[in-house]
Amino acid sequence: MTLTYYGVKSVILERNETTTRWPKMDLTNVRSMEIFRKLGLVQGLREQGVAAHIPYNVRISTGLSRPESITNWFHPSVNEYRIRIADKNDGTMPLEPWQRISQAIFEQWLKGRCDESPLIDARFNHRVEDLQEVENGARVTVTDQKTGLKKIILSHYAVGCDGGSSMVRRSLGIPLHGGPIPAYVLLVHFKSRDLSRLHAQGRFWHLFFVGNEGLTGAAIAQNEVDTWTTHLFLPLEKDSDSISSQEAVETSLGGLHGRYPVKIDRVLVRSTYRPRIAIAQSYSSSNGRILLAGDAAHQNIPTGGYAAVIAGFAEPQLMDSYESERRPVAVDSIEHSGVHMKVHMDVAQILQGRAGALDEDSEEGRKLRRALHEHYQKHNGENIDLGIEMGYRYQSHAIFTEDSQPPKFSPSAYIPSTYPGSRAPHMYLGDGTPIFDHYGKYFSLVEFSDGADYGSDLLLKAAELGWTPIKLVRLAGEDHAYSVWGRRLVLVRPDGHVTWRGDMIKDFAEAQRIVAAIRGVKEVVINAPETAAPPYQNGVNSYSTTPVESAVPPKFTSTVGTDAQTEDYQVERMGDSRFNAKGRPWGAPYCYRHGGMKQQ
């Protein structure tokens, strides 16, 4: 949809006949919602999701047969979140609240938007057989599974979004670093209107069940009406085939106290999967024509610029920034998902085999409940750590560096800053409009004006010569926003991240250097304005930075170990549609879209 927004044609190849039935994702985070707002999709998406007045409460429990949960995380509804954002208006908050929505609903809705676009050719029931990087593009061999007809598609670029067991990644020979946690999970997605039983401890979004092993199970309210998902954690040696869907649901909900009967109207799907955190060693092919995205590039535990090149106003070198910018962010995000998982796993150390006393009316029971309450309240960032969602800072040759120190990064708290590479902070202006809504379609130069000349016109002239669209957003009398943004001039990219900032552009040569860098040019010669030559030919760009090497941590939190798989992919196969959670072939029909899932 982003490519469509910028007028770029694309082809989507999907091996399934239609969108997923699997509830893999249940929350669209605040940063994603900001992007959807720019694309004009946010309202339509919210209409498909959980109603705006419903809170996002998380409960920690020993089982639904107990009268109350041990502790809770009370998170705001969309409506409450909006009030907080407006009241604070200090740059620390997102523009858009989050949105609960199941991936099954999300994909179906998004497919409808794709079908409406004349720029998107969505081909379902088409299987990619081969993908090769060729000169100036990619060559895809695809089979129409309905007719058996093979076709070859040539494109400028190809993006592999084909999941954890990505054929694209493997065809490029890119290793996967990371590993699984020491357990696997039986998931049951079902319909039920037995609300008096399911809401025995109150309405919830997530419900975590704890025991001597740490996290023993979980339940998710998918739509607050009749759709639910349970996750039952099992030891690796346990045979999940011997557990019926009814038993899996009731065992999950019962926690420490045995099966908790509920009426299931219909089982939608079930699967086993092994949670893992991993990252691809590289995000692209050798010449950058084939890219990896989504689970093909990185895999998290579920706890927590192409169009410019094609349009012609950015150089192909800009594509090099994809990996240097996004991969370090993914490493941090993946590691943090492991940190959140460890919060649940550490319960085992707190209980030390005494889970049976948790619900007792005894001194030991009260002590254990208090310890768990304090543990979860101290480590409550699973759904609210805005630093990890909005506080990351890109580094690449397309972003300028400064002599000053960048703001300190905190995973839990977003620190607003316009330091180059950062997401530009959201602020409501004096007329009540968000600064984001004043941005242009492409680049935006935000000027906090007091009547003086800060050189904005020089940048606009250089941009015109370089065929680079920049909208000037001149804001007068916005002292509050200026106090947060911190510079008279801030150049914001189409993705909302700052690429350059300053208090003045002193001459045309500096303006040319800025334009060359945002186009992705690593070297540039400076010409006098009267030559009218494009500022992106041979020479040296004194502003450019060295692409950041994407370090792989020696071990992600919560994994058994860190492995690199190039040919064998044993860890990855635990998510391959051909294998179950233990690496054995399934004996039942597959769902090919998401790894390790089979139909009930």
- In tens, the pLDDT along 276-295 reads 778 888 888 888 899 888 88
Q: Is residue 410 part of a domain?
A: yes
Q: Which of 531, 549, 569 is at the close of a domain?
A: 531
Return the CATH number at 335. 3.50.50.60
State which H helix or E strand residue 151 sits in: strand 150-155
Q: Do 518 and 423 reside in the same domain of the chain? A: yes
Of residues 142, 135, 136, the one with CA closest to residue 168: 142
Three-class HEC string of 240-259: HHHCCHHHHHHHHHHHHHCC
Q: Is residue 435 part of a domain?
A: yes
Return the CATH number at 515. 3.40.30.120
The pLDDT score that the predictor gives to residue 399 is: 86
Q: Do 344 and 401 reside in the same domain of the chain? A: no
Q: Is residue 90 part of a domain?
A: no
Q: Do 421 and 482 reside in the same domain of the chain? A: yes
Could you count the other beta carbons within 10 Å of the beta carbon of residue 40? 11
Q: Do 512 and 423 reside in the same domain of the chain? A: yes
Q: Do 293 and 148 reside in the same domain of the chain? A: yes
- In tens, the pLDDT along 493-534 reads 999 999 999 999 999 999 999 998 888 765 444 443 433 333
Q: What is the spatial distance between Cα 213 and Cα 185, in angstroms, rounded to a whole number?
A: 14
Of residues 46, 55, 52, 90, the one with CA closest to residue 75: 55
Q: What is the spatial distance between Cα 390 and Cα 425, in angstroms, rounded to a whole number?
A: 9
pTM of the model: 0.82
Q: How many domains does the chain have?
A: 2
**DSSP three-state, residue 585:** strand
The pLDDT score that the predictor gives to residue 576 is: 33
Give the number of residues written for the chain.
600
For the sheet with 206-211, list strands across it. 71-73, 58-61, 206-211, 214-221, 227-234, 184-191, 266-273
Residues 6+ apart with CB under 8 A from 385: 304, 336, 411, 412
Q: Do 342 and 407 reside in the same domain of the chain? A: no
Which residues of 182-333 form beta strands (DSSP E)?
Answer: 184-191, 206-211, 214-221, 227-234, 266-273, 276-280, 290-292, 298-299
Q: What is the CA radius of gyration of the chain?
A: 26
Q: Could you tell me the residue range of the domain that residue 37 belongs to?
A: 2-49+95-179+280-351
Q: Do 447 and 329 reside in the same domain of the chain? A: no
Q: Is residue 78 part of a domain?
A: no
Q: Do 15 and 131 reside in the same domain of the chain? A: yes
Of residues 494, 395, 404, the one with CA closest to residue 441: 494
Is the Cα torsion angle 105, 109, 115, 119 positive or negative in sign? negative
Of residues 388, 386, 282, the one with CA closest to residue 329: 388
Q: What is the spatial distance between Cα 159 and Cα 285, in angstroms, rounded to a whole number?
A: 10
Q: Do 320 and 410 reside in the same domain of the chain? A: no
Q: What is the spatial distance between Cα 28 and Cα 296, in angstroms, rounded to a whole number?
A: 19
Q: Is residue 458 part of a domain?
A: yes
Packed helices 456-465 and 508-518: angle between N→C axes, nearest 10 degrees: 50
Q: Is residue 186 part of a domain?
A: no
Q: What does the block give as tokens for 342?
A: 């460890």
Of residues 324, 282, 279, the one with CA closest to residue 300: 279
Q: What does the block give as tokens for 386?
A: 């805005």
The Cα-based distances of 509 to 72, 209, 345, 363 in angstroms read 58, 62, 57, 74
Q: What is the DSSP letter of 284?
A: B
Q: Which of 473, 502, 531 is at the close of a domain?
A: 531
Is the Cα torsion angle 262, 263, 265, 267 positive or negative in sign? positive
- What string of DSSP letters covers 258-279? S------SEEEEEEEE--EEEE
Q: Is residue 341 part of a domain?
A: yes
Q: Do 168 and 109 reside in the same domain of the chain? A: yes
Q: What is the spatial distance between Cα 191 and Cα 245, in angstroms, rounded to a whole number?
A: 12
Q: What is the spatial distance between Cα 500 and Cα 492, in angstroms, rounded to a whole number?
A: 7
Q: Do 37 and 105 reside in the same domain of the chain? A: yes
The pLDDT score that the predictor gives to residue 179 is: 77
Pairing label, strands 290-292, 184-191: unpaired
Contacts of 261-264 with C-beta under 8 Å, sequence gap 24+, read: 261/197, 262/192, 262/194, 262/197, 262/198, 263/192, 263/193, 263/194, 263/197, 264/190, 264/191, 264/192, 264/194
Q: Which of 492, 510, 531 is at the close of a domain?
A: 531
**DSSP three-state, residue 482:** helix
What residues are paired with 232 via a beta bridge? 186, 217
Q: Do 13 and 137 reside in the same domain of the chain? A: yes
Q: Measure the CA angle with vertex 184, ends 178 and 190; round to 5°.
A: 125
**DSSP three-state, residue 13:** strand
Q: Could you give the residue ranges of the DSSP H alpha helices within 74-165?
A: 78-88, 103-116
| Environment class of 109 (CB within 10 Å of its CB; exposed 0-12, middle 13-18, buried 19+) | middle
pLDDT tens-place values along the chain, 600 residues long: 888 888 889 999 999 999 988 888 899 999 999 999 999 999 999 999 999 999 999 999 999 999 999 999 999 999 999 999 999 999 999 999 999 999 999 999 999 999 999 999 999 999 999 899 998 899 999 999 999 999 999 999 999 988 888 888 888 898 888 877 777 899 999 999 999 999 999 999 999 999 988 889 999 999 999 999 999 999 888 889 999 999 999 999 999 999 999 999 999 999 998 887 788 888 888 888 998 888 888 877 665 443 444 444 444 555 566 666 677 777 777 777 778 888 888 888 998 999 999 999 999 999 999 999 999 999 888 888 888 888 888 887 788 888 888 888 888 889 999 999 999 999 999 999 999 999 999 999 999 999 899 999 999 999 999 889 999 999 999 999 999 999 999 999 999 999 999 999 999 999 999 998 888 765 444 443 433 333 222 222 222 222 233 334 445 554 444 333 333 323 223 233 333 333 333 222 222 222 222 222
Q: Is residue 544 part of a domain?
A: no
